[in-house]
């Protein structure tokens, strides 16, 4: 086992890893930019190292600075959290080249699943169901129109190197194809430096279902059920729950087994998430995230497993501490993402926290790096906390979420807390009757202002 781990991240996820390290008796090293000198993860870690100025390109995204911090501190392994360098294969290779351990999958697996076309081809070869579409990149408008005619409109054009909804456009007819195709390529080029796109059949009323998987890197793998992340704005998740309210036990067992077998065949190591669109009983692969997800706490809640601890154990060469038959779902969990954003436009709202009070009580968990007097810097993601609730069933979890939101106080900046209070007034939320398009339509109709 490692003696010391460096956490190449900030905010609540850095704190999450520090806590796991402390429980395991492992020393933690926090890195930080000059803007984060007073951040909570810096205060909580056993050691701290400043790795550069405020812009993430000069600090949290600086491979050289992070490797140097490891060498200075004597850390043997790096936990990347999520975001930043967590899915950067070149970073992982650099870590390994310096004799350090990356707490996550191999550079090869990150590369394989980081390219959308290669990931889809790999998924098909492993028996994972995929959305019908082009076999590879689509280079010309003429080819795009042929594919549109073959699969039938609507279709969606996606950047092969994309993410977060960038480089993604829908064409509802051949007349819309030229504009959608050219716009998707231009956005992809601007965002990722790569204008290659591919085309898939566009599912009109799907849910977003993701399966949590874990591999030991030695041919073993398990799944920890699914999460429903259908409530999204601009392809960004805001409300996640497990288990999925629309998924039957039989569907869960079938798709879970397919995913667990796939990562076992890959020889995958650590945590991963295989994401699907789900419609009319069918699962269609969209991507694999080769890292810990923001919403991992809902899976931890219903299975009673510490996924960060398991990441560290597997990276140290230890076998999984649980088998598939050990994993049983207990109740229902929901997570809402609290962002420092001003409603209804969701514009960033950095600033000083004048008062912070976290909710508590049975079945309530608040993952946040906030404290009274903390100044949220304007340089990074607007996520400032995750409120997670767990109940015996979905009804109890929703009631607990409503109660916890009433206790949560974040003064000094605007937040998305009112969004969730408004959502909990909607019958569709209580019935679980929504798709990936529901939230945006509700917001367009003025839902948050009601």
Taking the C-alpha atoms of residue 272 and residue 274, their distance in angstroms, rounded to an integer, is 7
- Is residue 291 annotated as a catalytic residue, yes or no? yes
Active-site residue, selected from the candidate residues 207, 252, 291, 400: 291
Structure tokens, 77? 């392994």
Active site residues: 291
């Amino acid at each position: 086992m490692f003696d010391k781990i460096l956490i190449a991240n900030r905010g609540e996820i850095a704190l999450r890893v520090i806590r796991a390290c402390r429980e395991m008796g492992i020393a933690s090293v926090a890195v930080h930019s000059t803007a984060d000198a007073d951040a909570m993860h810096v205060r909580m870690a056993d050691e701290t190292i400043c790795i550069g100025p405020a812009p993430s390109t000069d600090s949290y995204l600086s491979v050289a600075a992070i490797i140097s911090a490891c060498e200075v501190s004597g850390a043997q392994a790096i936990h990347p959290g999520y975001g930043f360098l967590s899915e950067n294969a070149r970073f992982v290779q650099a870590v390994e080249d310096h004799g350090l351990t990356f707490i996550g999958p191999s550079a090869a697996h990150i590369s394989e699943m980081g390219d959308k076309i290669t990931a889809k081809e790999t998924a098909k070869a492993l028996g994972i169901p995929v959305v019908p579409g082009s076999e590879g990149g689509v280079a010309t408008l003429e080819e795009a129109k042929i594919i549109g005619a073959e699969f039938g409109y609507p279709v969606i054009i996606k950047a092969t190197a994309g993410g977060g909804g960038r480089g993604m456009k829908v064409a509802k007819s051949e007349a819309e194809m030229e504009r959608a195709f050219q716009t998707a390529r231009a956005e992809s080029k601007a965002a990722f430096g790569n204008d290659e796109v591919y085309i898939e059949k566009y599912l009109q009323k799907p849910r977003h279902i993701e399966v949590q998987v874990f591999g030991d890197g030695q041919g073993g793998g398990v799944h920890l059920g699914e999460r429903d992340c259908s409530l999204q704005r601009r392809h960004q998740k805001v409300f996640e729950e497990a288990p999925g309210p629309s998924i039957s036990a039989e569907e869960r067992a079938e798709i879970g087994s397919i995913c667990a077998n796939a990562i076992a065949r890959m020889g995958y190591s650590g945590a991963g998430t295989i994401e699907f669109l789900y419609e009319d009983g069918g699962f269609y692969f969209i991507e694999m995230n080769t890292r810990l997800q923001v919403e991992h706490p809902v899976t931890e809640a219903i299975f009673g497993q510490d996924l960060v601890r398991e990441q560290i154990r597997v990276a140290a060469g230890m076998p999984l501490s649980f088998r598939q038959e050990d994993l049983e779902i207990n109740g229902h969990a929901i997570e809402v993402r609290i962002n420092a954003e001003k409603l209804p436009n969701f514009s960033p709202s950095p600033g000083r926290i004048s008062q912070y009070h976290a909710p508590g009580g049975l079945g309530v968990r608040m993952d946040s790096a906030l404290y009274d007097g903390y100044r949220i810097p304007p340089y990074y993601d607007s996520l400032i906390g995750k409120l997670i609730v767990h109940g015996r069933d979905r009804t109890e979890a929703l009631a607990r979420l409503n109660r916890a939101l009433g206790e949560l106080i974040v003064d000094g900046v605007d937040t998305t807390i009112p969004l969730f209070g408004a959502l909990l007034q909607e019958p569709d939320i209580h019935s679980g009757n929504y798709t990936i398009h529901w939230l945006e339509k509700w917001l367009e109709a003025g839902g948050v202002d009601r």
